[in-house]
Amino acid sequence: MVVLSQPAMDHFTPIKTYKSAAATVFTGIPTISLSHPDAGSLLVRACEEFGFFKVISHGVPLELANRLEAESMRFFDQLQVEKNRAGPPNPFGYGSKRIGFNGDVGWIEYLLLSTNPDTAVPPRSLSFFQEHQPSLRAAVDNYVKEVRKLAIEVLKLIEQGLGLTTAAEEGRDVDGPISGLLRDVKSDSCFRVNHYPPCQDHWEVAVSGRNLVGFGEHTDPQIISVLRSNNTSGLEICLRDGSWVTVPPDHSSFFINVGDTLQVLTNGKFKSVKHRVFPDRRKSRVSMIFFGGPPLDVKITPVPSLMEEGEESLYNEFTWSQYKKSAYKSRLADYRLGPFEKT
């Protein structure tokens, strides 16, 4: 008998496995209320110390996140053959197990979507979603509008904390040199919904007791990433001392990652955070991440007013388009800023 309603991950080719070294649940993740009078300096400190933090009092209506999560699960619950019609994932669409172009695999299925309305030629997968998954597409659009606003607000507070904007500018709601990159209509941002099915029944887990990797260790290439997950754990971050810790899930807050581009814009004062995900043995993990990137033709160089006297850029000049091209030739765990560092 052929069982057609099995979840997507049945026919799984061998996958790199390793035991999660991170036993510790880390309770020290900076948690910052955006309505705190010192939010700007608290965010700057979190970016310097962790490249990662959690925001509360964020103003994003949680029903938008819940609706999108439900719509996404409706999509992932379909037969594999239906989901495959929304693929391949690159540049945008549905993907399963394979991440990027260079051999990375994980216990994951996902949707990778463009958030840029003025993409000159919409990829086939975008029109696929408009035609065949209109309620999912609408939920994505409504959600992304809000998290994009949140990303800009966080960057503006960071600019304030860094002393990049004056009180008068803040009053007039003028964008600074970093938040302006995200507000730009040409901002090259994208969005993904990751589904990590439970891995208990997988033979490698059952036989060896090892954990499968869901999304291998990497840093995000963009400026900042805004993540919301359901209440299933699995996300791990690498602390400055090189140790890996588990991030306790919190479905009513947003987690923010410093990306490689923000590392360069601050000339290394902020470091992009290495992170990875292990699936849970029993529960599905669903995460939704907005990756805020600059316009393709923008030169990524340290913000001049952040440089001390005599300080030199650690990086050769490059555009976001050049960085992206190089990133897409890399493996997940590669240090992508390496080729752009001054020797």
* Residues designated catalytic: 285
- Binding ligand GA4 by CB under 6 A: which of 69, 75, 92, 104? 104
Between 267 and 330, name the residue whose CB sits nearer to ligand GA4. 330
What are φ and ψ of residue 149, in 5° steps? -60, -45
Contact flag: residue 220 with ligand GA4 (CB under 6 A): yes
For residues 125 and 54, give the distance between their C-alpha atoms in angstroms, rounded to a whole number.
32
As a whole number of angstroms, the longest Cα–Cα distance in the chain is 73
Closest CA to 100 of 262, 256, 325: 325
Closest CA to 216 of 231, 241, 238, 198: 238
**β-pair type (254-258, 299-300):** unpaired
Contact flag: residue 291 with ligand GA4 (CB under 6 A): yes
Between 165 and 225, name the residue whose CB sits nearer to ligand GA4. 225
Q: Name residues contacting ligand GA4, limited to 231-250 (CB under 6 A).
A: none
Cα dihedral across residues 147, 153, 155, 161: positive or negative: negative
Contact flag: residue 227 with ligand GA4 (CB under 6 A): no
Between 161 and 221, name the residue whose CB sits nearer to ligand GA4. 221
- Binding ligand GA4 by CB under 6 A: which of 99, 144, 152, 247? 99
Contact flag: residue 192 with ligand GA4 (CB under 6 A): yes
Quote the tokens at residue 85: 């019609």
**Residues paired with 95 in a beta bridge:** 110
Contact flag: residue 130 with ligand GA4 (CB under 6 A): no
CB of 44 vs ligand GA4, minimal distance in Å: 23
- Write the binding mask 249 to 288 for ligand GA4: x where contact by CB under 6 A, - elsewhere: ----------------------------------------
Quote the tokens at residue 232: 């299933």
**Residues paired with 238 in a beta bridge:** 244
CB of 35 vs ligand GA4, minimal distance in Å: 29
**Residue 211: other Cβ atoms inside 10 A:** 19
- Binding ligand GA4 by CB under 6 A: which of 221, 234, 279, 292? 221
Closest CA to 52 of 23, 19, 28: 28
For residues 250 and 231, give the distance between their C-alpha atoms in angstroms, rounded to a whole number.
6
Between 60 and 193, name the residue whose CB sits nearer to ligand GA4. 193
Contact flag: residue 228 with ligand GA4 (CB under 6 A): no
Binding site for ligand GA4 (CB under 6 A): 99-100, 102, 104, 112, 190, 192, 218, 220-221, 291, 327-328, 330-332
